[in-house]
Amino acid sequence: MAVRRMLRGVIFDMDGTLTVPCLDFFEMRRRCGVTQGDLLVEIEKMSPAKKQAAIDVITEMETEAKEKMEIMPGAKDLCDFLDQRNIWRGLVTRNVSSSVDHLHRKMGITPFWPALARDFLPFKPDPAPLLHICEAWKVQPSEVMIVGDSARDDIVMGRVAGSYAVLIDTEQKYGPIESLPELQRPHYKVTSLAEVGHILQTKFELVPKEGVAERESAL
């Protein structure tokens, strides 16, 4: 019988993971004039006028997406599953804090903690956000799972940090795991959040968080 691996927390991406995909990133890149490279990184290299124009485009599109936000099927059930077992859950997104606040209201759950938005630098795929959350939880990266829909951002962040990585591919746009570049290869690839719950129950030993009251009262 396979030994279950110890897991103390789950970190989620937001857009396309906890919410149904509605941001057209190709259109966003087109309107911002960025055809290659990391969109946010390339915007920082622009002249002040072009940078502001690109920021205005992103703000407009993110505001529209926030108004249309739909929670991904199974998201609340998965969060309830973790809460019932007293397992840490956090969030890392390249979206803005106001969208994270809207997500919390829309889901009607205890907020993710920490919930890191675009104002936390450096943003993913740098492992810094994940490592920051691990430090806040007082756990090791190897005791944490990242769940996201971007192999380039979420999976790379998790793999570099040394965490378990789950790629949620609801639109089935990715090929087999072995077809991806090495750092973009998740430990698991799923098509729904319900499958994530199954993996947690069958592959891992979930370890409840300790000292929650003391840590959260210090925030």
**Residue where one domain finishes, among candidates 67, 94, 121:** 67
Distance between CA atoms of residues 144 and 4, nearest Å:
14
**Domain carrying residue 47:** 25-67
One domain for residues 94 and 151: yes
CA 19 to each of CA 9, 22, 38, 73, 192: distance values in angstroms, whole numbers, following the listed order: 20, 8, 22, 8, 12
Residue closest to 152 by CA, chosen among 125, 123, 191: 125
One domain for residues 62 and 128: no
Low-confidence residues in the chain, pLDDT < 50:
212-219
Query: How many domains, in total, are found in the chain?
Result: 2
Instruction: Determine the pLDDT at residue 3.
Output: 82
Instruction: Determine the pLDDT at residue 211.
Output: 55
One domain for residues 80 and 60: no
CATH code for position 103: 3.40.50.1000
The proportion of the chain whose per-residue pLDDT surpasses 90, expressed as a percent, equals: 84
Instruction: Determine the pLDDT at residue 160.
Output: 98
Hey, which residues are catalytic here? 13, 15
83: how many CB neighbours lie within 10 A of its CB? 12
| Tens-place pLDDT, residues 128-170 | 999 999 999 999 999 999 999 999 999 999 999 999 999 999 9
Instruction: Determine the pLDDT at residue 142.
Output: 98
Structure tokens belonging to residue 48: 């002040």
pTM: 0.89
Residue closest to 99 by CA, chosen among 170, 162, 15, 37: 15
